Amino acid sequence: MANVIRRQTPLARLGRGALYATLILAALFYLLPLVVMLLTSIKPLEEIRAGSLLALPLAPTLEPWAKAWGEACTGMRCEGIGGYFWNSFAIVIPAVLISTLVGALNGYALTQWRFRGSELLFALMLFGCFIPFQVVLLPMAQTLGWLGLASSRAGLILVHVVFGIAFTTLFFRNFYVAVPRELVAAAKLDGAGFFRIFWRILLPVSAPIIVVSVIWQFTQIWNDFLFGVAFSGHDTQPVTVALNNLVNTSTGVKEYNVDMAAAMIAALPTLVVYVLAGKYFVRGLTAGSVKG
């Protein structure tokens, strides 16, 4: 048996080496656009016109980054994306917190406090995950107008909360299914009510799925363009809309380095979130997959 294992070891090592080589090549290919964007963003325009995309900068500069962040309006060209960058944070943070909290309450109620019609309600909320965003643009615009929230940050927050609840409810419902019902039943016998059980028992064990919900919602809302361009005003636009305006306007000379720097700035928060919390995202997705 030992001889067989020894004879198979070189093949196993060869297979593992081929697997690692394939993964490294795939990672390099996937990261190539990011490398091109980064190199272009620190090159002067003269080098961009004269060199290749992958050429290292001869005279690296951060001027394109400063210009992308805070350039003033000149002619038809829009200002930098700095102010709109903070607009996105002002929209994302409350929308993520509210949709995560409401989704947790919904998931808790649908699994631990079942009521007549709960399965139908969950099916309808699940159906909301598959509704194309374009279908609801007009009725949502009318609703925001009736509420007096048109072209405001509060209106955009409401839109993202409404569409995020379906996803967060799905996440938390699937997670709470794995929580033993006997735990909640024992708390009920001790006199604990709906919210006390939620805050003292369910929420403390929900850290993995909370991370999933926060990462998912943060990424979806930060990268959203459709709702941002449809429901925001000039002063309330998210960074994705400002980036589109910056890239698609010019005064005659196309500044590719400024455009790439602006794109890197706009993508930076989601990159940071995934680098720091990506492994927790995978753990959270699988945390409630096996009951018990």
The tens digit of pLDDT for each residue in 51-106 reads 777 788 888 888 989 988 975 444 434 467 888 999 999 999 999 999 999 999 99
Query: Which residues of the chain fall short of a pLDDT of 50?
Result: 1-6, 72-78, 290-292
Q: Which residues belong to CATH 1.10.3720.10 in the chain?
A: 82-287
**Which three-class secondary structure state does DSSP give residue 206?**
coil
Which residue pairs from 74-77 have beta carbons closer than 8 angstroms and sit at least 24 positions apart in sequence?
Answer: 74/251, 75/251, 76/249, 76/250, 76/251, 77/246, 77/249, 77/250, 77/251
Match domain 82-287 to its CATH number in 1.10.3720.10, 2.40.50.140, 3.30.470.20, 3.50.50.100: 1.10.3720.10
The per-residue pLDDT for 252 is: 65
Q: Which of 103, 104, 152 is nearest to 128 (CA)?
A: 103
- Please state the pTM of the whole predicted model: 0.82
Q: Are 81 and 266 spatial neighbours (Cβ–Cβ below 8 Å)?
A: yes
Indicate the average pLDDT of the chain.
Answer: 83
